[in-house]
Chains A and B, each alone.
Chain A
C-alpha cells in the first residue's frame, strides 16, 4: 500500500518536472518572439521589404538580402536533396553492412556535429578557390548543402528504416527487383519523413550567417542576384550587421528582419508538417 503511494507520488513529481521542462522552452520562446515583435513589427512595411541597404536606418531595407536568402534556399535544396537522399538510400539498403559502413556511419554522425564555420572554411578553400567559383551564390549554396547533408542522410535512413519489412518482403515475393521495390514501395512510404527532414535541415541552413561570411558573402549588395554566379548577401548577415551598429534605428531594423526570417522558417516548417500529413494519408496498406 505504502509502496503504491510512493510510486504514485514519484509519478506526480515526474509529470510536474516534465511540465516545467516543457514550459521553460516555451516561455523562453514566447518572451523572445514577443520582444522581437514589440521591437520590430512596427518597422515592417512594403518599403522595408523592397528597400536597398542604407546608412539611414529608416530608409534601409532587406530586399537584396531576402532575394539572396531565397536563392540560397533554392540552390541548396537542388544540391542537397538528391545527394542526401541517394546517400541515405545507399547506406540503408544497398551498402554492405560491414566495418566500412560502420565507419561511414560514425563519420556522418560526427559531421552533423561539426561547427558550421568549419564548413565555411572548407567552402572557401574548395568551392570558392579550388573550383574558382568565387564568393558566389553557388559557392554559398554548396557550402550550406554540405552542412545539412548529414542531417538529410540521417533523416532518410530513419524514414526508410520505419517502412515495415513485410511491405518489402511482399514486393520481393511478387518478383519485384530491388529498384522496383525501392521506387514503388519504400520511397513513397518514407517520403513524408524524408521531406520533413530535408525541410527542417533547410530551415537550419537559411538561418546560417557564419559559414557564408567566411565564404565571402557580402553585407552590402545594392542589387538582387540574377544568376548562381552573382555575389550575394543573406538575411542573417544583414541582421548580424545591423545588430552591431550603434544607432537604435538599426536595432529595430534587425528585429524587423528577424521577424521576416522567422516567418520564412515557420512557413517552411508548416510545409514540412503539411507534406508529412499529406503523405501519411496517401499510404494505405
Chain B
C-alpha cells in the first residue's frame, strides 16, 4: 500500500511523457532511400540509427553499391540521397541532367589514408609523396624491390607491399593522390579487400609497407607504426587535427552526401539531413572518421537551408 503513491506518480510521469511526445506534431512518417559508397556507409548508418530514436516512423534504408553504383541509381531518381567518397563525375552529372535531376552536395566528414610499416622498422621517419610515387607507380613493378632503392641510406632488404584490392575506393583514391592517375599502380603487391588481412600482413613482416583507412590503424595502433607523409610542406602525421585543417595532404579526402532536390522538398528528408549535419561531428568520430571543422558544418547547414528555401519558392 505504501508504494502505491510513488508508483502512481511514476506512472503519471511516464504517461505524461508519452503524451507529450505524441502531442508534438513533429513526428513524421515516410521512407528515405539512401545508397552509395561503402566508405560513407558507417557514418550514414550511425546517423540513421540515432535518427530512428527521434523519428521512429521514418524508415531510412541504406545500400552499399559503391560511389559509382550509387550515382547510377541517384541519376535515375531511384534514391533520395547518395553516399559518395569522391565528388560526382561529369558522366554522372550528365546522367542527372538527362533525367532532369537536381541535387546538392554536402560534405559530412573526412577520411584519412594511413601509410604503415612494421613496428620493428626503425629506419623510416617519413615518406615524401615522390618516394611513395616511385614505389607504387606502374613502372616500379619488378624494378623497385628494395628499401635502399627508395632512399639510399635504408637497408638493402626487399620491401613487401600491402594494399587494398583494386576494386576498392581506397585504392582508387590512393593511386589518384600518389601516382596521379586513379586505378594505376604496380601490380606486384599483396592486395586484399579485407583490410584486417593487410593489418596482419604488415604486423607480421619487418620489411612490410602498406596503406589503408585511418580507422583501421586506430583499431590496431599497437601492431603497426604509422609514417608521416611529406606533401611538400614537411612531414605530417595523420591526426584528427592535421586531417581537419587540411595539412595532411594529399592522403585525406572529404566524404559527401548528395541530396535529390525532389526528395529535398519532403519534410522527413529535410529533417534527416539537418539531423545528419548536427550529429556528424560526434558520430563520424565514433565510427573512425574525422569530423569537419565546426565552421565547415555551419557552412554546410547554411548551404542546405538556402537549397531548401529555393526549392520552396
Which residues of B lie under 8 Å from residue A53 when comparing CB positions?
45, 49
With A55-B45, A55-B49, A216-B73 as known contacts, state yes or no: A248 contacts B219, CB within 8 Å. yes
Q: A244 to B195, Cβ gap below 8 A?
A: yes
CB proximity of A188 to chain B, nearest CB, Å: 45
Once the chains bind, are B194 and A217 in contact (CB under 8 Å)? no
For A244, give its contact among B35, B38, B69, B219 (CB under 8 Å): B38
Contact yes or no, A244 B62, CB < 8 A:
no
Task: Give the contact stretch, choosing among A156-164, A218-226, A259-267.
Answer: A218-226
Question: What's the Cα separation between A237 and B35 when bound, in Å?
Answer: 14
- The answer to whether B61 touches A221, judged by C-beta atoms less than 8 angstroms apart, is yes
Q: How far is the CA of A221 from the CA of B35 in the complex (A)?
A: 12
Q: A251 contacts the other chain (Cβ, under 8 Å)?
A: yes
Q: How far is the CA of A214 from the CA of B65 in the complex (A)?
A: 7
- Please, what's the 1-or-0 string for A203-227, where 1 marks a CB less than 8 Å from any CB in chain B? 0000000000110111111110000
B236 within 8 A of A: no
A46 to chain B, nearest CB (A): 20
Q: Which of A41-62 contact B (CB under 8 A)?
A: 52-55
A55 touches B46 (CB 8 A): yes
B42 near A: Cβ within 8 Å?
yes
A219 & B219 in contact (Cβ 8 Å cutoff): no
Q: How far is the CA of A218 from the CA of B69 in the complex (A)?
A: 13
| Secondary structure class of chain A's binding surface, majority of residues | loop
B67 → chain A, closest Cβ, in Å? 14
Smallest beta-carbon distance B191→chain A, Å: 14
- Whether B219 lies near A55 (C-beta < 8 A) is no
Bound: A231/B73 CA distance, A: 15
B-contacting residues, A217-247, CB 8 Å:
217-223, 231, 237, 241, 243-247
Chain A residue nearest to B217 (CB atoms) is A246
- A/B pair count, beta carbons within 8 Å: 76
Contact mask B180-217 → A, CB, 8 Å, 1/0?
A: 00000000000001111000000000000000010110
List the one stretch of B15-23, B153-161, B282-290 in contact with chain A. B282-290
Which B residue's beta carbon lies closest to that of A247? B219
Residues of B within 8 A of A216 (CB): 35, 63, 65, 73, 78
Minimum CB–CB distance from A221 to chain B (whole Å) comes to 5
Cβ proximity bits A22-57 to B, threshold 8 Å, 1 near / 0 not: 000000000000000000000000000000111100
Which of A54, A237, A243, A246 meets B49, CB within 8 Å?
A: A54
- On whether the beta carbons of A246 and B48 are closer than 8 Å, the reply is no
Give chain A residues whose Cβ lies under 8 Å from the Cβ of B196. Answer: 246, 251
Contact string, A125-161, partner B, CB cutoff 8 A, digits 1/0? 0000000001100000000000000000000000000
Query: Which residues of chain A are within 8 angstroms of B59 by Cβ–Cβ distance?
Result: 222-223
Assembled-state Cα–Cα distance A108/B213 (Å): 44
Q: B42 touching A245 by the CB < 8 A rule? A: yes
Residues B283 and A243 in contact, CB atoms below 8 Å apart = no
B147 within 8 A of partner (CB): no
Are B62 and A218 neighbours in the complex by a CB distance under 8 Å?
A: yes
Alpha-carbon gap, A232 to B59, bound state (A): 12
19 additional contacts (CB under 8 A) given A213-B63, A214-B65, A219-B64:
A213-B64, A213-B65, A216-B73, A217-B63, A218-B35, A220-B45, A220-B48, A220-B61, A220-B62, A223-B59, A244-B38, A244-B193, A244-B194, A246-B195, A246-B196, A246-B213, A246-B288, A248-B219, A251-B196
Residues of A within 8 A of B (CB): 52-55, 134-135, 213-214, 216-223, 231, 237, 241, 243-248, 251
